[in-house]
Each structure stands twice: as structure tokens, then as C-alpha cells.
Structure 1
Amino acid sequence: MSSIKCECGHLNPEGTDICQNCGRPLSTEEKSKKLADMRYDGAAIRSKTHQRTVVDKIWNFFSSVKIGVSIIIAILVAAAVGTILPQVFYIPGGGANEAQTAQYYEDNYGIFGQIYNALGLSDLYGSWWFMTLVGMLGISLVVVSLDRGIPLYKSLKNQRVDRHPSFLKRQRLYGEGQVDDPDAVMKKAAEKLKEQRYNIREKNGALLAEKGRWARWGPYVNHLGLIIFLFGVMLRALPGFYVDESMWIREGEILAVKGAPGLYLENKGFTFDVYTQENTDEVFSEAIDRVGTVASNYQTDVALYETPEGALPGSTNAELVKEYSIVVNKPLKHEGFHIFQMDFKLDELSAMTFALENKETGESLGELTVNLDDPQKDYDLGNGAKVELLDYYPDFDGFENGEPQTKTPVPNNPAFLFKMTTPETPEGETSFVAIRQTLEPLGENTHKLAFQKAETRDVSGLTIRKDKTIPVIVLGGTIFMIGLVQGSYFNHRRFWIRKSENGQVMVAGHTSKNWVALQRELDAVTEYAGLPAYTDQRDKEAQTDKPEGDSKS
């Protein structure tokens, strides 16, 4: 890129509005302005000057504030739409099976549910397009910070003390006038400014007083915090960094821990205790009267197993790690994993026993017990009597087009289709048996399966969590808050004082915000050192309406 040569001889990059050496306006637009544009101290911004190559166009796209705001709006809208229907981890089965997930949204929410799931809104925070939006926002923050931050840093680091009079005259606070002893006035002004904690630099009859420069970096610290925060969010998509799973485990059952390869959990027993009128205080007594039952404790006694290091994939040779009682708010902890007690089901059916009887005489030909977790196909009762299980419906939900249906694989309402064979009926008889319902679809039978008893067990609902991204997210949030305080409650203030050979003294002031405080400090310096009166040039007309001798707006 070509350079712009100022009258002082300094070469400035193309796009510079204010000479970085003397402060003269360089661009036509800047020369037409009454006040100097001090947002980036007139430094050249890459996105404003480089617009030729593909790289420039990509850079300019991500450096656009409008694009950044649009991405933020898109993320907010997507997050809002993601709350319309339950996310996949809240539905039965937790979305482990894509076909079941799609069927769930279609059955419960119709065409809208189908579209919702197809667009990935059912698993919003894990969808590729949402992570792409988050990544684009991170790129935008990086590009914007570099695009504006580097020129601002160079401009502030290399700012000269003896700025050209045209620079001073274009500051919002400006004054000039004749004084009796310019050197004495400059000396007293420096003393007062030091008292106000300004850093003073003097050169060639000019003075620069500055404080709070670090406040200018507040927005960039915000950007850094957001970038770290978004990086932490995106880390959650990588295996091993974030786990939030749930599992139901029955008493006596051993299951692999979801999201924790190599870990297995055995449910050794579930305990459920309630408050009684005899062993509780008045508060719980009122609750018991109102709702009937108030839980005092529910816990799962478990054994945690882990496959040895170096074991072959799928190996079941696991070693006992520990035994523990998981209680609400007292999770089992192991290698960053936290296993919480979140829910329970009491008295879930585990087995049902039936007797094969002659309907007319009531004679029993034997009994069979169906394990609802692993039902057998054939049951031999002896003496030529046997029962064949043709089909099993764990959660019977009625008939559709004459076919029995099941809602879930959980034995909440089991139903069976049996074929009964006896010496009297060698061709077999078919019977559909459900709780409080028996159907004979092929005609009246001679025999029936009479319910005898049921075995139950308790089921524990556990949540498995692991989050290695928390330190990164907390760090990003902390840095963001520091930047917010830095940019909101502090400000960058500067005064320039310059004397000329004819006894004239010029004074100018600028701040990033809080002009009232800057004027208050300049008033104190003016009164102490005898500086010329200044005006607020943002509104000269209002200034001229004030009584003569008033030194500020």
C-alpha cells in the first residue's frame, strides 16, 4: 500500500486520517471536520484500506461490526427457537437412537416436530451449524480486535508530545491566550497535573499529561474474554471434555457408565425413606398432611468397576474401584466424573408368574415365570404341557390396525402373546394376556394363563457429568468482567499544553468518556496555574450564549 507524506515529513500508511507524528489532518474528510476523530487517534484501519484480494474481502467480512452483530442475533434466535420443544437429552431414551428420536418428535409434535428434528434444533448445541455460528463469532472477535487494536496500540505508544497547533485546535476542549510567564505557567500546570496522578512528558516547549490509557483496552479485554469463553464452549464438542448423560439402572444390574468408557456400575440396592408423623418436625408434619408422603432420603448403593489399562476393547474383565452410597447432592466422584442421584422408580415389574389352567375345571398344569428383561421363547411345564411366547410388548399401548403396540421397551404395562399346548389340545391355543385383560383372537380356548404373582425391583435414575471446560469458561467470563469494568468505569484522559515564542499558551483536552470529570480537572489546573480559559467546541453556539468570562460549557 502507498504511504501518505505529511507536511512534517512523516510517512503515514494509506488510510491514516491524522498524522501519527504531528497530528495534522491528512484525509479530505478529516480536514472538513470541526473536531478531530480520536476514536483510533486517526490511525489507518486495515479493513478500510485493504480491499483488493480474496484475503482482504474475507478479513473485511469478519471485521464488520454489522456482521458480528448479525451473528450474535442469529445465535440468540437459534437459542430461543431451541427452547420451543424439549432438547433431545430430555426425551425418553435421551436420543440414543436416531430413529426413535425422529419417531418421538413426529408422534408428539407432528410435522412441526419432524422439521424441528430434521433441522437439528432438537440437539441445538451439538448441531454442526450452531457450532459453526459460534466459531464464526469467535473469528469475528479475533479479526475485529486485531483490525482496530493494533493500529490503536501503535498510535498511543508512539504519540508525540509537541503536536501541531492544528491538532490542538480540533480537540473538543480547547483554549489559547496570552500569559505573562509561559514557563512558570507550564511548570505550575505540570505540578498540578502530577498531583492529579497524570503522567507528564515535556519536549520543545510542549507538555503531554496522560492517565488511564489502559481503560482504552477494555473492549479488547472483553473480546479476549469472549474468545476464551467461546473456545471453552466449542471444547464441549470434543470427546472427553464434556459429558452430560443419564442412565436408569435396576437393582442387581451391571451397566456401562454412559460417556465414561471402561467404567461399569452395579446397583447393589436402592433405599427410599420417608418422614413420618412420629419422627419429624412441624414443617414436615404439615407437608405430610397435605401431600401424604415426603421423602427423607433416597440413595443408591453401588459398586464401581473399571477395566484395566491396556485391556482389549469390549473386555468385561473389570476391577472393583470402590463401593459408594450415592445420595442426593453427594455424588460418586472418580477421575473427573460425577455420578448424581437424580430420580427413581419404585416397584418396577421384573418377573411375572402364570399358571396354565383348565378353564372349566380350574386344574393347574404347571406354572411358568417370565423374566421381563430376558423372556424365554419356550416354557416346558411337563406332562406334555408347554407354552410358547410368540411376542412380548413391554409397555402395551393398545391396538393399531389389529396389531398390539408398545410405547417403550420398559416393562411398565407388559402384555404377551402365548401359544398353549397340552395333551388335550396338541394343535395349540393362542391367548393374548395383558394386565387385567385376556383375549382369545382365534376363538374360545380350553385353557388359560392365570396370573399368580409378580416380582418387582426399584430403579435408580443417575446422571453422569464431567466438564473439563469449566476452568476455561470461568477464565473467559472473569476476563470479560474485568474488561467490562475496565472500559465502563475508567477512562483515558489527556491534556496537551503548548507555548509559543510570543507568550501565547495553547491548551487542549480529550477523554474517552466522562467529560464532566475532565473539565473539573482542567478547571483546577487552570485556576492553579493561570492557564487561558477554554471552551467546549462541541457546541460553540451554546458557549457564546454564556456570560462573558465563563470558561466551560
Structure 2
Amino acid sequence: MKLTNEIWGFFASVRLAIFTLCSLALTSIIGTVIPQNKPDSWYVETYGPATAQFFQVLDIPDMYGSWWFLILLGLLCANLIICSIDRFPTTWRLMTINQLAVHPDRLQGMDLRQEWSLPSPVGESAGQLSAALAKAGWKPASREIETGTLLFAGKGGWSRIGVYVVHISILVIFVGAIIGNILGFKGTVMLPEGESTTRIFAFNSSEPIDLGFEILCDSFTVDYYPNGMPKEYASVLTVRENGKEILKQTIEVNQPLTYRGITFYQSSYQAYKDFIVSIVIAPEKIGKVFTIPYQQEMEWPEQNIRFGVVNAEGMGDRVTRIKIWMKHGEQPASTFWVENGKDAAIPSADKTIAVSAKQMFATGLQVAKDPGVWLVYLGCCLMLIGLYVSFFVSHQRLWLLLRPDKGGTGTSILLAGASNKNQTGFARSFTRLADRLRG
């Protein structure tokens, strides 16, 4: 029995809570400083073989899923649960205790108290003071005692459970994180323009994950600063199931696409040496889009057109102008420059050929499924509510002891008050209320 009490006391102790919270905070710094979920070779190249092996033993590359980090989280959860169970009965008694059962002598010893007299008898004075308290936002109750009448009014008794709301919120967040870790995934995919996929690859795993639907990159655009640095970029994605288009959306950084609980984030891109060339023949308005490698010839046999990208100008990976060679039927071949992503109209016999060309890109998408995220959001909301209640709402109590004065015709009044927190603020409120009750 003694051992059981000691174990219970250990898990209910504040010292364990401080130890686990400090340990989690300090070890989280490690997970921030040392990049997570990199290939093993990266740690060997960056830190050396001995340090990389030490990291593997302690699961540092996946620290937040390591055995020792999960043990710390388990200790914190056990501490919160047992601490709450151990202390809640006392808190409940403080919330539900009959405050009218207080002994009158105890009121005389309270720090906050004021005394005055009213000329009316005790019964009439009790009615007047009860009405004044109700008007001030208090709900008084009364009890007849041997020496007179005792009034009590309280506010914010429920605020004592604020700390338990915080405890519950942490547990809810942990449950949401566990659900997300077990049933969810995080991965990535590099998707070229015009191509689609039904699978992505999870971080630190070579096994593909089936999405259950098809995601297509219709197009990718990127804007640059004058110095050639990328300014912003976006992808147009289409979701298809059984060959049918379900959803189309343009995504940018911080503006993802979500479908069936799976979210696609715009994270990176890759420039290719291939080009996307669009050809439209007027007046028939016959058109087709081609993907063509650099300096290779391609043919559109139905329209007897041959063409190719023979040169390109740009800065770094960025292409600004594209030189195209084209021959239509028996017409002489021609070469012309096209601004990247812009059109050029080429006359050919009795037709006009509109040609546009752009550099081809692949969009880099981070893909995440986290079915526990709503529990995490709920836990965060509960935590904010619990912290607000714990720090800014107090359990305020007022007692009014009414006794006949020495002459027997008037009433001697003792007002006493107490608050479990924010004593200075309550003292000011107490003084204002006393002045109001004096009339």
C-alpha cells in the first residue's frame, strides 16, 4: 500500500510535470537544429560516420517519433491524468461547498471587510441589500442564523476547472497527433506539366502510397524578380476519378488544394530543358499542344507541319526567349523568336499559324493526410479557453452578516469578501461594491 501511494504521488507530483515539460522543450531544440527525416547518407556526409551512427541509435533523424521522446510524452500524459484525478475532488468541494454554512467569526478575520449600519430592521435591510446585489450582477442567497441573517453571493466558481480544461486540451492534442501519425502520411511528388499520378512517396520510405484518385498538373507558372530570382509560382491542378474531372484549382504557397482529406501544398519546382509548344491553324482553328525536347525536330503529320526549338535565351534556369524553326507543307521553312509564354502569328499560304512556346516545369508538391488535425485544432481552442479562465477569471465570494444594532431598531452590517486570484483587482471591486451597498 505504501509503495502504491508512493508511485501515485510520483506521477501526481508537480516535479514530474516540470521535468517532462523542460525535457520536451530542450529536446525539441535538437529536432529544430538537426534536420529531420533526411537520408542516412546525408547525416554521414554532414556529421561523420560516428556521429551519424549515434544519431541512429537515439532516432535523432526522426526525433519526434523516437522511443525516448514518446516515453517523455507518455510521462506527461500520465502526470496530467493522475494529477487531475488526485486534485479534482478538492476543487469540486471548493466549488460546491455551502458557503452559507460559514461561521460568523470567520468573517471577522478576513482581510477584505467593511462595516456600517442601516436604520431599518434586519429583515428590511436584507431585502434592500439582496436587491442591490442582484442589480450589481450578483445572485444572493440567504440563511437565518442565531444572531441575524447571513447573505452570500458568488461569481466565477467554475473558473477553478480552468486548469483541468488545459490538461484535457493537451491530452486531446496528443490523441489527435497519434491518430495523424498512425492513420495519416506525409510525402512528396514532382509532377511535370501535362502529366498525372495516382501515387506519391512518403518521406523516408521507398514504398509508394496510393491516393485513390488521379492528380494532374495542367500548367505551372513562375514570376521572377528583375535579378532573375523567383518571385512567386503557382500550379493548376485537376483531380480526376475514373477519367472524370472532379475538381480543378490553382494552388500557390499557403493556398493548398484539399480533396478527400489529402492536402497538396505548393513547395518547389524544377525547370526542364523541354518546351511546351502550342500550334493553332486559322481560320479552321485546329490546334494541338506538343512537348518537345530542346533542339529536336517534331512532326504534326495530319497538318504536314514540322518544327523544333533551335535556341533559347535566358538567365540561369529561366528562359526568356525561344527560337523556333517551322516548315508547313511545301512552304519555305522559317525561324522566329517567341517570348516565353507568348504567341506569334506566322503567315503560311492562305493560312495563319499561331505559335506559343514556354519552358516546361515540374511542380513540387508536398502531400499530407492528417485525420487527427481537427482534434489538434479542438485541443488548441480548449487550451486557449482554459488558459484564459485560469489566468483571468477568479472565484469571487461575498458575505453579508446582518445583525440587530445595540438599539434593536437598526441593522449592523459586516461585508466580507475573498477571491482565489487577482487579489488587487478584487479589492478595488470590493470597495466599489461596498460604497454602492452603503447607498
The 3 A distance-change label for structure 1 pair 220 and 324 is: closer
1:237 aligns with 2:177: no
What does 1:292-307 correspond to in 2, within 5 Å? 294=230, 299=235
Give me the whole-angstrom Cα distance separating, in 1, the residues matched to 2:212 and 2:383.
40
The 3 A distance-change label for structure 1 pair 193 and 80 is: same
Deviation at 1:202, TM superposition (A): 0.7
Residue in structure 2 matched with residue 129 of structure 1 by the alignment: 68
For the Cα contact (< 8 Å) 2:116–2:438, is it kept in 1? no
For the Cα contact (< 8 Å) 2:217–2:238, is it kept in 1? yes
1:192 aligns with 2:107: no
Deviation at 1:154, TM superposition (A): 2.5
For the Cα contact (< 8 Å) 1:328–1:340, is it kept in 2? yes
Give me the whole-angstrom Cα distance separating, in 2, the residues matched to 1:214 and 1:341.
46
Gaps of 5+ in 1: 1-51, 92-100, 276-283, 306-318, 350-455, 532-553
Residue in structure 2 matched with residue 87 of structure 1 by the alignment: 36
1:256 aligns with 2:215: no
1:497 aligns with 2:393: no
For the Cα contact (< 8 Å) 1:174–1:508, is it kept in 2? yes
Q: Which amino acid aligns with 1:153?
A: W
Give me the whole-angstrom Cα distance separating, in 1, the residues matched to 2:139 and 2:215.
69
For the Cα contact (< 8 Å) 1:190–1:200, is it kept in 2? yes
Give me the whole-angstrom Cα distance separating, in 1, the residues matched to 2:232 and 2:67.
44
For the Cα contact (< 8 Å) 2:191–2:217, is it kept in 1? no
Deviation at 1:299, TM superposition (A): 3.9
Residue in structure 1 matched with residue 51 of structure 2 by the alignment: 112
For the Cα contact (< 8 Å) 1:327–1:340, is it kept in 2? no
Residue in structure 1 matched with residue 19 of structure 2 by the alignment: 70
Deviation at 1:473, TM superposition (A): 1.4
1:515 aligns with 2:423: yes
Please, which of 167, 175, 178 is the counterpart of residue 223 of structure 1? 167
Q: Which amino acid aligns with 1:256?
A: R
Q: Which amino acid aligns with 1:479?
A: L
Q: Which amino acid aligns with 1:78?
A: T
Q: Which amino acid aligns with 1:199?
A: K
Q: Which amino acid aligns with 1:467?
A: D
Deviation at 1:245, TM superposition (A): 0.9
Deviation at 1:273, TM superposition (A): 4.8
Query: What are the superposed Cα offsets for residues 448-496 of structure 1, whole Å, 9 maximum, x if unpaired?
Result: xxxxxxxx98654222112222211111111221222223333221112
Q: Which amino acid aligns with 1:480?
A: M
For the Cα contact (< 8 Å) 1:200–1:209, is it kept in 2? yes
For the Cα contact (< 8 Å) 2:178–2:372, is it kept in 1? no
Paired residue total: 336
What does 1:136-535 correspond to in 2, within 5 Å? 136-174=75-113, 183=122, 184-204=124-144, 205-239=149-183, 242-249=184-191, 256-258=199-201, 261-263=209-211, 271=219, 273=221, 287-288=225-226, 290-291=227-228, 294=230, 299=235, 319-320=242-243, 322=245, 327-329=250-252, 333-347=258-272, 459-499=362-402, 505-527=413-435
Q: Which amino acid aligns with 1:58?
A: I
The 3 A distance-change label for structure 1 pair 299 and 164 is: closer
Deviation at 1:103, TM superposition (A): 3.0
Structure 1 residue matching 2:7: 3-state secondary structure: helix
The 3 A distance-change label for structure 1 pair 199 and 268 is: closer
For the Cα contact (< 8 Å) 1:328–1:342, is it kept in 2? no
Give me the whole-angstrom Cα distance separating, in 2, the residues matched to 1:462 and 1:483.
37
- TM-score norm. by structure 2 comes to 0.64
More strand by share: 2
For the Cα contact (< 8 Å) 2:220–2:236, is it kept in 1? no
The 3 A distance-change label for structure 1 pair 476 and 182 is: farther
The 3 A distance-change label for structure 1 pair 214 and 302 is: closer
Give me the whole-angstrom Cα distance separating, in 2, the residues matched to 1:514 and 1:254.
60
Q: Return the structure number with greater relative CO, CA threshold 8 A, min gap 6.
A: 2
The 3 A distance-change label for structure 1 pair 511 and 182 is: farther
For the Cα contact (< 8 Å) 1:327–1:341, is it kept in 2? no
Q: Which amino acid aligns with 1:171?
A: M
Structure 2 residue matching 1:238: 3-state secondary structure: helix
Give me the whole-angstrom Cα distance separating, in 1, the residues matched to 2:236 and 2:157.
58
Deviation at 1:270, TM superposition (A): 7.5
For the Cα contact (< 8 Å) 1:272–1:295, is it kept in 2? no
Give me the whole-angstrom Cα distance separating, in 1, the residues matched to 2:240 and 2:141.
69
Give me the whole-angstrom Cα distance separating, in 2, the residues matched to 1:158 and 1:123.
50
Give me the whole-angstrom Cα distance separating, in 2, the residues matched to 1:59 and 1:514.
32
Query: What are the superposed Cα offsets for residues 286-306 of structure 1, whole Å, 9 maximum, x if unpaired?
Result: x33x22x6577564777756x
Give me the whole-angstrom Cα distance separating, in 2, the residues matched to 1:57 and 1:227.
24
Give me the whole-angstrom Cα distance separating, in 2, the residues matched to 1:81 and 1:511.
43
Deviation at 1:246, TM superposition (A): 1.1
Give me the whole-angstrom Cα distance separating, in 2, the residues matched to 1:298 and 1:489.
45
Structure 1 residue matching 2:100: 3-state secondary structure: coil
Give the root-mean-square deviation of aligned CA atoms.
3.7
- TM-score norm. by structure 1 comes to 0.52
For the Cα contact (< 8 Å) 2:107–2:416, is it kept in 1? yes
Gaps of 5+ in 2: 203-207, 275-358, 407-411
Structure 1 residue matching 2:101: 3-state secondary structure: coil
Give me the whole-angstrom Cα distance separating, in 2, the residues matched to 1:520 and 1:485.
21
Q: Percent identity between the aligned chains? A: 22
Deviation at 1:143, TM superposition (A): 2.5
Give me the whole-angstrom Cα distance separating, in 2, the residues matched to 1:257 and 1:321.
20
Deviates more, 1:145-154 or 1:323-332: 323-332
Query: What are the superposed Cα offsets for residues 96-116 of structure 1, whole Å, 9 maximum, x if unpaired?
Result: xxxxx3332122112334323
The 3 A distance-change label for structure 1 pair 457 and 54 is: farther
Give me the whole-angstrom Cα distance separating, in 2, the residues matched to 1:530 and 1:324.
70
Deviation at 1:71, TM superposition (A): 1.0
Give me the whole-angstrom Cα distance separating, in 2, the residues matched to 1:214 and 1:264.
48
Structure 2 residue matching 1:468: 3-state secondary structure: coil
